[in-house]
């Protein structure tokens, strides 16, 4: 079975599939202990790899290289990859999609934003004309073999949101995402216009969408939930707190309790699990 088929089957299974945003290999190593699906977040990758905001700085070879490392260390996890606007050009988008499928990505998200792009929960987003986006999306769909493709709209005007969601649902995309949806009532309205097409919901701390549980999302008929930044923001808070305490204690490390804290041994044991010889050989993907 290919990685695309495995994720597609998971999406079609009962309940809402959670995919957790990771931003580097270490965060992925921790997430892998709790969940079997990753979301390769553009926000997190831009922050971690470049130290820059999610406004279009990502170069596609960097993203492809990161996904390749992830797949080697985590041969059984779902990998849904944020490719933003396909790096502007439709030919580039198709090339990246084929590269990602060959190295074992499970799926991609392609948005309809135009440059300068923004995080899906930020103000100031602009979208391509629908026909232009659909042309790019259909080229990507023709380029993939089995890869899951999520069609995403960042429309903000109410009539345009529904028009685009309906148009995306009529394509061969596997899943539809309306990013920055502001209420449960709007999720219900979008659900109606996309018919039986699987729906993805994205929630982010401090973002525009409501905080909903997986059970609530299942009741709303959202088949997938991505959690873009909880690991990134938790790391930010923990590092800031640890260094504040270190400064306050004049540089003396806190007392270490092996059963409670993270030290050299536990960290090394976590990372040793990623060495490829410790993994059973995965079934070959069909591409």
Q: What is the DSSP string of 186-232?
A: HHHHHHHHTTTS-EEEEE-TTSSSPP--HHHHHHTT--EEEE-SHHH
Q: What integer is the mean pLDDT of 247-261?
A: 91
The three-class DSSP label of residue 149 is strand
Tens digit of each residue's pLDDT (9 = 90 or more) over 191-214: 999 999 999 999 988 878 899 999
Range in 76-85, 237-246, 265-274 the model is least confident about: 265-274
Q: Model pTM? A: 0.92
Could you give the percent of the chain with pLDDT greater than 90? Answer: 78
Distance CA 84, CA 185 (A): 27
User: What is the pLDDT at residue 79?
Assistant: 98
Q: How confident is the model at residue 99 (pLDDT cuts 50, 70, 90)?
A: very high
Q: How confident is the model at residue 285 (pLDDT cuts 50, 70, 90)?
A: low
Peptide bond into 116 cis (omega under 30): yes
């Amino acid at each position: 079975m290919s990685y695309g088929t495995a994720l597609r089957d998971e999406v079609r299974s009962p309940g809402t599939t959670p995919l957790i945003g990771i931003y580097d290999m270490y965060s992925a190593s921790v997430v892998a202990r709790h969940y079997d699906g990753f979301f390769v977040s553009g926000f997190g990758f831009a922050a971690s790899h470049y130290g820059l905001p999610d406004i279009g700085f990502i170069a596609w070879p960097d993203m492809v290289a990161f996904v390749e490392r992830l797949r080697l260390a985590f041969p059984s996890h779902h990998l849904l990859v944020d490719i933003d606007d396909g790096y502007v050009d439709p030919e580039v988008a198709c090339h990246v999609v084929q590269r990602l499928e060959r190295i074992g990505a499970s799926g991609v998200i392609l948005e309809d934003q135009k440059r300068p792009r923004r995080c899906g929960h930020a103000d100031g987003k602009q979208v391509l004309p629908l026909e232009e986006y659909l042309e790019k999306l259909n080229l990507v769909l023709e380029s993939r073999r089995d890869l899951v493709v999520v069609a995403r709209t960042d429309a903000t005007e109410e009539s345009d949101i529904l028009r685009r969601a309906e148009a995306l649902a009529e394509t061969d995309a596997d899943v539809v995402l309306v990013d920055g949806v502001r209420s449960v009532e709007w999720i219900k309205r979008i659900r109606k216009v996309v018919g039986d097409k699987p729906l993805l919901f994205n929630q982010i701390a401090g973002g525009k969408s409501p905080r909903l549980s997986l059970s609530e999302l299942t009741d709303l008929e959202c088949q997938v939930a991505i959690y873009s930044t909880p690991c990134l923001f938790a790391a930010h808070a923990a590092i800031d707190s640890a260094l504040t305490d270190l400064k306050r204690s004049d540089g003396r490390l806190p007392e270490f309790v092996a059963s409670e804290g993270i030290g050299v041994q536990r960290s090394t044991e976590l990372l040793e699990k990623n060495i490829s010889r410790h993994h059973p050989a995965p079934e070959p993907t069909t591409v």
